[in-house]
Amino acid sequence: MSDPSPLRESPSDDAYLRSLGYEEGFDRSVSLWSNFALGFLYLSPLVGIIALFGLGLTTAGPPVFWWILIAAGGQFLVSLVFGEVVSQYPIAGGLYQWARRLWSGSYAWMLSWIYIAGVIIGITTTALFSADFVQALLNGNAADPGTASTPGQKFVIAIVVTLVGLLLNATGSKTLARIAKVGLAAELGGIILVGLYLLVFERHNSVSVFFDTMGTGGTGGYASPFLASALVGLLLFYGFEACGEVAEETPNPGRTIPRSMQMTVLIGGAAALFAFVGYVLAAPDLQGIVNGDITNPIPVILQSTLGTVGTKIFLVVALTSFLACVMGQQAAASRLIFSFARDDMFPRSAWFSRLSPRTHVPVNALIAANVLPVGLYVFIYFSPDSLLRIAAFQMLAGYFAFQMVVLASMRARRKGWRPAGRFSLGRAGWPVSVSALAYGVFAMVLLAKPSGDGSLPFYDRWISLIGFLVVAGTGLTYLLVMKPSRGSSAPEGDAVEVARQLRASHSTSTHSTAALTDSTAALTERTIHG
């Protein structure tokens, strides 16, 4: 970390980073499209849809489709708030750095502790969700295309996916960028081509099914199952913040990253809707899926429409997306741990903040981010039914961290902060922020709700909230006892002052340009009339 120099907009990204208190250490090899690809594949609509398609339909029927629209709208508001902050603070570490500069080091530490737990569990759930599709690729056939994986197979496949992602990430940012681009092309191609084919040639159901609960409401009304199915939408729109985690690896990040985050939500949302609608309308036995008779419905739908070869090709595309999604989560977690440690806010900070001299990647932080998932794979091996409830904890932790940033931005705005980066909401800042916070609180309430299965033990029904409280309580205890922010000299709570200096530099630059223009004009006139 360097001493902050006077703030001044500069065409040099490393000069601006230095003015914020940090030295350039990464390679800026992640372009706009690579940055967008990273966020898109972390969000990964294809992964989310094929992993939760059966759960959503079994819980609430085809109207679960509306949760995709609700979540997309709410998270787009959050991405606008994040865009203002990252535009002023394009620093590796994303949410941690934003909260630190908007509020304080202690506040940022608590947010990051919770968020790191959510991202690490995200690595776990994504790798485990891939297992059924690996099994379908290797052992599926025309008679049984959707064969499910056993707990042992899930364990082995998740370990392999995690290890491959770790090894590829360790080779550097360029590899991550290439994999992100390949994964983006594969995922969008798979969604668009397969979706169009299903909608044009393989429609078996009417559009009216999206207004048909198909018996999921039972005798107790439809509100409860519809709210219980919210995870389908909420889990999809998580990952756009990863665009900001690699800010120091992206050229012109103050302009690029806000655009990338917004594109991730909008294009990801459109792709998710397209895929979901295509699969529902092409399902040959939709009622059987809703009734739970078909446990792995996507391969079954593909087999009936694309045949064995087409299904296998699609599964390869899907598994490419799964791997890219895991790599994006690993990269986000490692950059956050690195940023945390660089500010001396993490145990063994010197070790975790070390960059590889060859690849310029925080390899130690990358390895650390993959230790806990291995332990969780063991737990889920013995308790396989807990996977979806653990995924709900992942989302609860993520949404809580998001809303801590939104709240910090509102507090800073009340204290006089006028965002001075290259992206600003202007007068819309307050209504957008309030709406984003309201949506986030609503989502957290849904995610904290217990499972509706009364036969489960108490701890299992409430595992999402209990897990969150354990993580938050552990982090708060460490914060109060060890006081990690006390040993850090990194800037904090300076959003108002930094924005003031940036506006001043803009004004100086404008006046200098105007003066230069006037001088040039005068000189030209003297030359003409000389």
pLDDT digits (tens, 9 = 90+) for 209-258: 999 999 998 777 898 899 989 988 998 888 899 898 889 889 999 999 99
How far are the Cα atoms of 57, 63, 89, 212 from residue 488, in angstroms, in the given order?
A: 49, 50, 18, 56
Q: Return the pLDDT at 217.
A: 80
- Using an 8 Å Cβ cutoff, are 338 and 365 in contact? yes
> What amino acid occupies position 336?
L
CA distance linking residue 445 with residue 314, whole number of Å: 36
Q: Return the pLDDT at 143.
A: 81
CA distance linking residue 157 with residue 131, whole number of Å: 6
Q: Which tokens belong to 517?
A: 């223009």
- Using an 8 Å Cβ cutoff, are 246 and 335 in contact? yes
If you search the block for the tokens 């354990």, which residue do you land on?
470
2 backbone dihedrals φ, ψ, rounded to 5°: -110, 165
CA distance linking residue 242 with residue 512, whole number of Å: 37
Among 5, 26, 4, which residue's Cα sits nearest to residue 338? 26
Q: Which tokens belong to 503?
A: 């506006």
Which stretches of the chain drop beneath a pLDDT of 50? 2-10, 510-530
> What amino acid occupies position 60?
A
Q: Return the pLDDT at 288.
A: 94
Eight-class DSSP state of 482: H
Q: Return the pLDDT at 212.
A: 94
Residue 378: Cβ within 10 Å count: 10
Q: What is the pLDDT of residues 393-440, one digit of tens each?
A: 888 999 999 999 999 999 999 999 999 999 999 999 999 999 999 999
200 backbone dihedrals φ, ψ, rounded to 5°: -85, -40
pTM of the model: 0.86
Buried (b) or exposed (e) across 14-27, using 16+ Cβ within 10 A? eebbbbbbbeebbe
Q: Return the pLDDT at 7.
A: 44
CA distance linking residue 112 with residue 488, whole number of Å: 15
Residue 68: Cβ within 10 Å count: 26
If you search the block for the tokens 């957008």, which residue do you land on?
432
Q: Return the pLDDT at 14.
A: 81
Q: Return the pLDDT at 507.
A: 65
Helix residue spans in 140-248 (DSSP H): 151-169, 173-201, 223-228, 231-236, 242-245
Q: Return the pLDDT at 340.
A: 80
Q: Work out whether the CA dihedral 3, 7, 11, 17 comes out positive or negative.
A: positive
Burial class (CB in 10 A: 0-12, 13-18, 19+), 455: exposed
CA 492 to chain centre: 25
